[in-house]
Structure 1
Amino acid sequence: MEELFDLVGVEGVAAIIAVVVSVFALCLSVFNFRAEFRIAWTKEVIGWARQVVSVLTEMEHDFSTACGQSLGVRPSGDRVRGQLARLSTLIDEGRFYFENNSDNDFGRDKPVAFRGYRPKLIDVLVRAYDSYRRALTNNEHDPSDTIRKRKRDFVSHVQEVINPVWFSKKAEFETEKVKVNF
């Protein structure tokens, strides 16, 4: 250590320490930025997913059933078209968060957001949309079971993406930092 002082002097050692501390602070800042970005992105995805689940639940219950038996009540065509428009909008909004897998030539003639294969999370919504749309033209078609299954698939895919375990651990850590006594 004395050799270092002799070589660069006190000012030089202070400068080296300052550089090391600065690099450490920069690394910590980048880590915090990434964590904050992940939290913000996840909040956005959860907000979008809540809207999707709400629409899917409404669509599922549009075809009234009791204990698996149809009550013979069908929504109006206007209602079905409105639900389809809402779900279509949410599907396209989902493309803002989840891009297609375009590692191949599939759909290369399409616009960028539609090239390749849809992620599973978006694909289950398209399948729910298609099933509900069939109800417009086929009076025998009851899409409620299909939509219920697609909704469960969707919720599972969202859960895989947002990783609630990470948030549970983060919340546990944060509450451990602040103890409240009543």
Structure 2
Amino acid sequence: MEWGVNEWVAVGSAALALASLVLNWLVVRRQTELQYETLRTEMDSAVIAWAHEAIDSVAGASTLARGRGVMYPADEFRRLAHETSQKLSAIADRGRLFFPNEEHDRHGQDKEAAFQGFRPPILDSIVFACGRLDRMAAEGGPDTESAEFLTKCRRLLVSEAQNAIDPRRRKQMLNRLAVGRLDDKTSAFKVAADLGEAMEALYPGYLLQRRDAAWIAAREEMGRRRR
């Protein structure tokens, strides 16, 4: 079979159509990936903003416990505790938009849909902090036991919030931060070590681990491995 101009034009047109189809598929795929990344970034930003407010509120509750009767007279403590408790309650409910309950079919069937099932630990940390604050009496001196309990709640909250953010994206962010420090010849780990040692000198036993040269070298090596 001899190929004429029409046949070659037809083959060329088919090849162009196929190439266009492949290119269009690649473009659509890339756009879909970008849309997903954008949505995930927005979601992470919303979770971070929520976590910031939650951490501040739990920390505020701990401050109230430590300052009861010293910094905060009974009437002022009662007012601030009520305001902080209401804020914690609202933050917990807002957190359900990001962290829904689990096993809805096994618990709380008589409740509204968002409250059926079991709370995730990140919401437990806020709910328990709110409950502890609600049960604190306005009279008396510093409540160190409640303050320590609230500190544990805050640490659980921070840990769970950190886990909720995409570790891969967090690593990329840390890499960008590391690149931004390349022109700074001062070791941030050395500065942190000096601050820690200054606290140790003032308050012996403050540091769980001394910030010596080996500590600085180990942290700097970790930073280099992240790049």
TM-score interval for Structure 1 and Structure 2 normalised by the shorter chain: 0.7 to 0.9
Aligned to 2:160: 157
The structure that has the greater radius of gyration is: 2
- Residue among 47, 63, 67 paired with 2:65: 63
SS of alignment partner, residue 110 of structure 1:
coil
> CA offset at residue 151 of structure 1?
0.1
Aligned to 2:134: 133
Alignment size in residue pairs: 172
Q: CA RMSD in A?
A: 3.2
Unaligned runs of 5+ in 2: 184-227
Q: Which moved more, 1:164-173 or 1:85-94?
A: 164-173
Aligned to 1:12: 14
Equivalent pair of 1:134/1:141 in contact (CA under 8 Å): no
Rounded to whole Å, the distance in 2 between the matches of 1:62 and 1:165 is 37
Percent identity between matched residues is 20
- 1:121 counterpart letter in structure 2: I
Equivalent pair of 1:100/1:118 in contact (CA under 8 Å): yes
Find out whether 1:121 has 2:122 as its counterpart: yes
Equivalent pair of 1:53/1:151 in contact (CA under 8 Å): yes
Find out whether 1:172 has 2:170 as its counterpart: no
Rounded to whole Å, the distance in 2 between the matches of 1:157 and 1:138 is 33
> CA offset at residue 37 of structure 1?
0.8
Change in Cα spacing, 1:115 to 1:7, as seen in structure 2 (3 Å) is farther
Rounded to whole Å, the distance in 2 between the matches of 1:172 and 1:144 is 36
> CA offset at residue 112 of structure 1?
0.8
TM (norm. structure 2) is: 0.66
- 1:64-143 matched pairs, under 5 angstroms: 64=66, 76-136=77-137, 142=143, 143=146
TM (norm. structure 1) is: 0.81
Rounded to whole Å, the distance in 2 between the matches of 1:170 and 1:91 is 28
- Residue among 24, 27, 36 paired with 1:22: 24
SS of alignment partner, residue 107 of structure 1:
coil
